Amino acid sequence: MKILAILGSPRKGNSEILLEEAIKLCNGKKHELTIIKPCELNISGCTACDGCRDTGQCILRDDMDKVYPLLREAQRIIIASPIFFFGVPAQLKLLIDRCQSLWYEKYILKKIFPQPIKKKALLMLVGGMKKGEIGITCAEATLKAFLRTIDVREHKTLSYLGYDEPGAILKDLVALEKVKYATKELLKND
Ligand SMILES: Cc1cc2nc3c(=O)[nH]c(=O)nc-3n(C[C@H](O)[C@H](O)[C@H](O)COP(=O)(O)O)c2cc1C
């Protein structure tokens, strides 16, 4: 199975710990795992030029050229991200906004790419605020719009609130168990 893991955080912190736990289960002969870190990629913001309107192809040339095929081909997507200002970090949002070309392709041009198996996703969201549910709600809404655009119709969200310092997530003694369980579920074939 082709799996794409995306780290939303620009630091070595809580999201990375969660993502590493998930990807331990994604290695092996049965899977082809690719990990991307938007903060290490050169991705420009969508300029809303509408250059993709008639073709579904973005006219900007940068590291998104490598990302688009990964988004198209992945059968499972795992995203671990912190909440920044009730949303996702800007580096991840740049990648998401550049999927406007895929949005045109799917919803306006109505190009259908048959998928061999149903695509599914796992989201792991970490916020520093103890009562930061709104951050989870808003970030999940953004990610849901992104996932539906790339034909992922089903996702599960694990949320972790009140973890601010890098590594603080390890104080949650069941955090990694929850990741393991959810990843095993994600990797099941329907
Ligand atoms: C720019 C910035 C904005 C943040 N905004 C929020 C927020 O809106 N809600 C929240 O719960 N935590 C917020 N935080 C805290 C982070 O979500 C928290 O530190 C998290 O553990 C970071 O995850 P990481 O270690 O994977 O980077 C913010 C942190 C930064 C640096």
Structural domain count of the chain: 1
Percent of the chain with pLDDT over 70: 100
- Return the amino acid letter for 148: R
128 Cα–ligand 1 center, Å: 5
38 lines ligand 1 (CB under 6 A): no
Is the CB of 8 within 6 Å of ligand 1? no
Q: Mean pLDDT throughout 41-59?
A: 97
Q: Identify the domain containing residue 165 by its residue range.
A: 2-187
CA 101, CA 79: separation in Å to the nearest integer?
A: 21
Give the pLDDT score at 113: 72
pLDDT single digits (tens) 85-100: 999 999 999 999 999 9
Would you place residue 112 in the very low, low, confident or very high pLDDT band (cuts 50, 70, 90)? confident
Tokens matching residue 51: 């250059």
At 151, which CATH number?
A: 3.40.50.360
The helix (H) or strand (E) run that includes residue 74 is none
Place of tokens 């913001």: 45
Cβ-contact 179, 79 below 8 angstroms? no
- pLDDT digits 0-9 by tens, 2-49: 999 999 999 999 999 999 999 999 988 889 999 999 999 999 999 999
CB of 160 closer than 6 A to ligand 1? no
Q: How far is CA 45 from CA 102, 103, 141, in A?
A: 15, 16, 20
Instruction: Return the amino acid letter for 90.
Output: A
Residue nearest to atom 4 of ligand 1 (CA): 84
Q: Which residue out of 164, 170, 171, 179 has the highest number of ligand 1 atoms within 8 Å of its CB and is therefore the one to mutate?
A: 164
pLDDT at 154: 96
Structure tokens at 134: 């709104």
Any ligand 1 atom below 6 A from CB of 82: yes
